[in-house]
Chain A
Amino acid sequence: MDIFTQQLINGLVLGSIYALVALGYTMVYGILELINFAHGEVTMIGAMVALTVIGVVMGAAPDLPGLMMVAAGLLVAIPACMALAFGIEKVAYRPLRRAPRLAPLITAIGVSIILQNLAMLVWGRQYISFPPILPHNQHEFLGAHITDLQIFIVLISLLTMAILVLLVEKTRLGRAMRATAQSKEVAELMGVNVDRVISATFVIGAAIAAVAGVMVSAYYGLAHYYMGFMLGLKAFSAAVLGGIGNIAGAMLGGLLLGVIEALGAGYIGDLTGGFLGSHYQDVFAFFVLILVLVFRPSGLLGERVAHRA
């Protein structure tokens, strides 16, 4: 087996998941300059809702193919997350749109605590396992192992990004989003319904988050009410690495962060003669992040953002 190829594949799959979650952060940030801390929790809710639905479907129609069950789960989880994000924006962020910049950050943290603890009440404190309903076909690829699910995850995240880019660049809604991102007031003067555009941004981000949540729990085989926190943090770092506010940047940042983590954990121990081992995986990742930002203060693909500190 080619270890390096395998590590690259490991990193790319992990990175695709980061990228999917990062898209939601970057869209919201691009328009509102708000770190939507609750986004990781929306991902978690997506996974939980889908798992519940899959459980019900399995009980009702156990002979259905696994992919159909997952599709059923997604079909409920996506609208659920969209509704949730719509509500969060309306209740917790919209009233603070003209407040000092850090105020919505605090409500975001508050919402994230609320969602975690609600999920704990509804789904319990234990880890929930994802039923083994998806086929685990393995392939050999350049001397490394890769499964159907892994290929699927990478493809889905590429596809999502492509659709999102098209949406932002080619549609009316996309144009309205870009206008709102530049200046809410001017966009409003031009007849853009800013409130609706911002809601739409949250809702689209949440739909992607739901997909990401289901894929994370399917891939790792579990879900837990606390799973959104670390995932959200990593995804946010990825979005910053790529240049926050930039969709392709989120994708690039996610993939890069995944590969950096995999290579860091895989090789750092051998390279430093055992002095720094895989426990410094995150240190390594943050170090690269800091280095990138020191030389490119707006991330890899970020444009120079006007500062409004």
Chain B
Amino acid sequence: MFGLLGGCGERGGADESAVIRIGSVAPLTGPQAHLGKDNENGARLAIDEINAEGLVLGGKPVRLELIGEDDQAEPKTATIVAQKLVDMGVQAVIGHLNSGTTIPASKIYHDAGIPQISPSATAVAYTAQGYKTAWRVMTNDEQQGKVLGQYAVNGLGARKIAVIDDRTAYGQGLADQFEAAAKATGAEIIAREFTNDRATDFTAILTSIKGKGPDLVFFGGMDPQGGPMAKQMKRLGLNAVLLGGDGLQNANFIKLAGADAEGVVASSPGLPIDDMPGGAEFRKKFESRYGVIQVYAPYAYDAVQVLVAAMRRADSSDPAIVLEALARTDHEGVSGPIRFDAKGDTTGGAVTLYQVKDGAWRVLETVR
């Protein structure tokens, strides 16, 4: 409903302590608004916690202020918003959500020398531009797709696989990497089908897939499509395992698929939240404030924590110094341990696989 801007609502303490502005950009209107708000909420929770603890940089108390902006998942708007944040003097940006907005915006942050940490952009190209300002706390498509492809064959014993993607940068990137890895591990790709991120009817492609008799269906996409897809598979009598990435591994998927979610397998980058230090507490706090976690809130939360940890190490909020400190990140986040390679991607690339049993996600195993 009416989201109160808790972080920048009260201005009382602003006079005593310096204010550090941090931007958060994601689509807050349009079809992906639920994901965008989730990112912003994750970042906001971290900011509020840090402010409550009190942050001291260079001997002076500072207060963080989150500036949340809406990029409408649109590349053009993303660059305008990025420039607006730069104008406002933000010291860092958490975002954007989509690869298609993160990449054009990254040039503006790079020109301004401001660190940008994306909690959710997975396109390999984002960190491959050679920008020292571009980071992400999410595994890229290559890392996750590879784990999923190998697990489909070795862990789930699939031999004949059908692949579906939603023709977004995320879904297509993940599905392509999955396909390559599954093939290399010895499976046969018997069908490659496509849908889009607005679709709700998948009966035509599922019927066509059923005719080819797969033992596993991989879907590169998000839960609003994955939920109905699981339902329609059952209804058509297509009894293959449905496998997905982090776009499916969330509570909303189970809600949307209902009883037909049983047995679905999906991965999520990092380690299980509830096993991480502070993870269970994060979930409790987040859900009491904002409701159920959509998908990427933990990563946005971690992105802020990683950023502030770097500020603490640098004892400054000066972007140039913070950027150097970010490279030395070694953080136990709620989504898993976070370290960066030279490009700004997360290293280690632990990916955890989950399966729905009795209406909840249960950990199958963590692949490192």
Where the two chains meet, the residues of A that have a C-beta atom closer than 8 Å to any C-beta of B are: 1, 3, 6-7, 10-11, 13-14, 117, 120-122, 124-127, 129, 132, 136, 138, 145, 147, 216, 220-222, 224, 226-227, 229-230, 261-267, 269-270, 274, 277-279, 281-282
Contact = CB atoms under 8 A, between A and B. Distances in A.
Contacts of B36: 125
A35 to B, nearest CB: 20
B208 A230 contact: no
B100 to A, nearest CB: 17
A126 B211 contact: no
Contacts of A117: 29
Given A125-B37, A269-B208, A277 B192 contact: yes
B255 A3 contact: no
Interface string B224-264: 10011001000111000000000000001001111100000
Contacts of B196: 279, 282
A267 B231 CA distance: 22
B334 to A, nearest CB: 21
Contacts of A120: 29, 33
A261 B204 contact: yes
A136 B235 contact: yes
Contacts of B192: 269, 274, 277
A227 B224 CA distance: 11
Contact of B200 (A7, A121, A222, A278): A222
Contact of A281 (B1, B204, B235, B259): B204
Interface of B: 1-2, 28-31, 33-34, 36-37, 167, 191-196, 198-201, 203-205, 207-208, 210-211, 223-224, 227-228, 231, 235-237, 252, 255-259, 291-292, 294
Contact of A129 (B31, B207, B258, B291): B258
Nearest to A121: B1
A25 B194 CA distance: 29
A127 B1 contact: no
Contacts of A261: 204
A147 B37 CA distance: 37
B224 A266 contact: no
B193 A269 contact: yes
B252 A127 contact: yes
A222 B228 contact: yes
Contact of B34 (A127, A138, A264): A127
Contacts of B31: 224, 226
Nearest to B223: A127
B231 A221 contact: yes
B258 A3 contact: no
Contact of B205 (A124, A221, A266, A282): A266
A220 B232 CA distance: 8
B8 to A, nearest CB: 20
10 contacts: A7-B208, A117-B29, A126-B252, A126-B292, A127-B227, A129-B258, A226-B31, A263-B204, A266-B207, A282-B196
